[in-house]
Structure 1
Amino acid sequence: MAERTLLVVGHGMVAQRLLERLVARADHPYTRIDVLSAEAVPAYNRVLLSSVLAGEASLDAITLQPLDWFHAHRIRLHPNTRVTRLDTAAKQVTAEDGRTFGYDDLVIATGARPSSLSLPGESLEGVVTFRDIRDTEQLLAMSAHYRRAVVIGGGFLGLEAAEGLSQQGMAVTVIHRSPYLLNRQLDATAGELLGEALEARGIHSITGESPRSLVGQRRVRAVELSDETLVSTDLVVLAAGITPNAELAREAGLDCERGICVDHQLCTSRENVYALGECCQLGEHTFGLVEPGYQQAEILAGVLCGDAERFEPGDVATRLKISGIPIFSCGQAQPGPDTESVIWQDHESARYCHLLLRDNRLAGAVLFGETQDGPWYFDQLQQQRDLSAYRQQLAFGAAYCDA
C-alpha cells in the first residue's frame, strides 16, 4: 500500500468521532494519521462541561478516549499545536511554534468560538467565555472568590454556565434578548415555564432586554441594559452565539462565508481538503449542535475510504436536562400559517406538550417536564407518518396511540 497521510486540524468531539469511525474500517487508506490540537488535552465531551463546572464530574470522566487508544491505533496526537497557516499548493500546514506537517488529505475541524457582542467593557477583568476546559477551570477558580454572576445568553451554552455557577453557590442572573429562554428550541409557553422553574432554583432571568455595556474601571462591576438598568455583578459570562473558526481556511484562499464552504461530501473548494463540524457551512446551513457533526463524521469516514456517501442536513432532536428539568424539542417549535397545534398541559406538575401538525403529519414537538415520548415523536417526524387515526391520543404519547 502506498504511503498516505491524513492530517486532522482540531480535536473536538466531531474530529474524535471521525477518527473512531475511520480506524474501525479495515479499508481506510492511511499509513499515517496526525491530529493537531490547540488544546493541551485529548478530546472531551463539551456537553458535560457544565457538570465539571458544577463539581459533578472531572476532566478524566468526560475525556472521550485515553492516550492509550491513540497509541493502539497509531494515531499521532500533537497537543498544544495551534495551526497558523495552510498552504494547499505545498499540501502542508504550519504551527505557531514553526513546525510544519504535510498531508495527502486534510480535515479541518477547528470548531467555533463564542461570538463577541462588541460591547464597551468586554476587555475588563472578570469577563469570560464558557467554551472549553480552560474556561471551565477559570470559572471554577473565580466562583470560589466571588458571589454574583451574570450570564449573557439564554441558549444552551448560557443556561449550562448558569447552572454550573449556581451549583457553586453563586447568585446568577441570565440576560437574554429574546422574550423567553431557549427561544430557538422552545415555544413561548415552554420558555416561560423554564424561566419559572429556574427562578425557583435560584437562577434569575431577564428576558427581552439586551446589554448595552459592561461597567467597571479595571474589573467588571455591572451590566448596563438597553433600558439603562444596572445589574451588579462580579463576573460576566459571554454565551450569546458562536462564530465558526474559518480564518485558517479563509486566509488560505478557500471559499468561505460564515463558515468554510463544503459540498455534500464535506469537501471544500480545494481538492483533498475537507471540513466538518461547527467550522463548516453547507449551503445556508452552519452547525452549532453536536448531532449534525456526528452525522458528518460518519459520512466523511466513508468518503475518505472511497464511498460515494452524501451528507444531507436534516431535523435534529434536542433532549437535555437543565437544573434537573427535562426538555425535548424537534422540528418546528413555532406555529406557522400552515400548521395546527395539539397542546396538553398539566399546570399542577408543570408538564407541557405542544405538537405541530401539517397535513396530519408531525412538523415539530416541544416537551417540558416529561420527555420519555420524545424519541417516538422524533420518529414520527422523520418518517412523516399520517397521524389522522391518533389525533385524539397524540398528545398523550406512544402508549396511548398504540393502544
Structure 2
Amino acid sequence: MPSISNKGGNMPQSPIRKLVPFAEAAKKRGTQVIHLNIGQPDIKTPQIALDAVKNNTVSVLAYSRTEGSETYRDKIAQYYAKHQIEVDASDIIVTTGGSEALSFVMGSIADAGDEVIIPEPFYANYNGFATANGVTVVPVVSKIEENFALPPIADFEKLISEKTKAILICNPGNPTGYLYSAEEIAKLAELVKKHDLFLVADEVYREFTYEGRTHQSILTHDSIADNAIVVDSVSKRYSMCGARIGCLVSKNKELIATALKFAQARLSPPTYAQIASEAALDTPESYFTDVIEEYDQRRKLLISELEKIDGIKVGKPSGAFYCIAELPIADADHFAQWLLESFEVDGETVMVAPAAGFYASPGLGKNQIRIAYVLEEKQLLKAVRILAEGLTAYTGK
C-alpha cells in the first residue's frame, strides 16, 4: 500500500476538535453536550454584515484580487487608524481566516529546519502550521502560577540560535486569556531588534480586554517596523467564524511581496465573505461595548465558580474569552473523553479541550483544560456544576 508522508504522520490532532466523535456519539444517545471546547461565540453576528450578503448585487461570483479587494483593505487600514496603528492598504493581505495568514507567515519567514520561539501554552494550530511548513517550534514556558505572564527575556535569549527566525505571540492569549502589558511588548520589541528577528503577533482578540486594560499592538513600535507582522481575523471580533476571513499586516514590503506569492498560489479569498467583512467594519462601537460587558460578566462568573471547586487552580484571564484550569487529576485527555462517554447530570454533559495539545513540551498541560466562556451565564453555571460533579465521580485519577 502507498505510504503517507512523514509530515502528514507528524501533523498533530486538534485538542479542540479531536473529541468531536465522542461528543457526537453522546448526542446520538440523547445526551445534551455543553460545548466549552471551542471558541464559537453565541453572540449575534452584526446584522449589517449579514444584510450586505443578502442584499448584494453580484451577478457573476468572480475571483477577487489575490490580496483582497482594494475597498476592503482600505477600510481595514481605516479600522487600524482608529486604534492608533498607521498602515495602508498595500501593507495588508486578506486571507482565508487568520489560519491562512499564519501559514503564509511561516512559509515566508522560515525554511525547513528553521525555528520559531513561542511562549507556551499557545494556540494549538501553531504546531500544525509549523509542521506543515517544516518549521520547528521552540517553546518557552509560561506558568499558571504566574498567570501565564511573559517569561523572562533571558529565557527567550537562551533559546535563540542561528536557526531562529521569529518570536510568535498571541495577544490577548488563546488559550490563557493573558494580555501582555506595554512593558512586555516593549521588551520583546527590543529583543527582536537586537537579534534581527521577526516578531509575529496574533492579535485577533484585540477588542476583548477587561479590568480597564488596553491592548498594545506590536505595530505601534516604529523601531521594529521591518520586524513586526500582525495576524488578524474577523472570526471572533464580529462573531463571524464561518466567514473565514483574516489578514496579515506588515510594513515590511519584502515580507508582503513574499506572502503575496503564497496567496497567488491559492488564487483569492472568498468574495461573499469579503463583502460581509467589509460591511462589518461599519458596526457601531456600541456593539463592542455590549459584547465586552457580556464577556466580562461571563469571565467573572466562570472564574468565581471554578475557584469554588476543591483542587482546581485557575489562570485569571484579562483578555480574549478563554481560561486554563488545572484539575486535580493526572490525565485531562482521559477525563475529557470520560465526560463524553460515561458521565452525565440530568441528561447533560460537558465538552472541554484538554490543554496538553496547547503545549509543545512533552508532558506539560496533562492535567489542564482550556475553557471557552462563549456561552450565556446559565449554561456556564450548569457546565461548571457538571464539571465539579464529574471530578467527584471520576475514578481515573
Same fold by TM-score greater than 0.5: no
Q: Give the number of the structure with larger relative contact order, counting CA–CA contacts within 8 Å between residues 6 or more apart.
A: 2
State the structure with more CA Rg.
Answer: 1
Greater per-residue helix proportion? 2
- TM-score, with structure 2 as normaliser: 0.31
- TM-score, with structure 1 as normaliser: 0.31
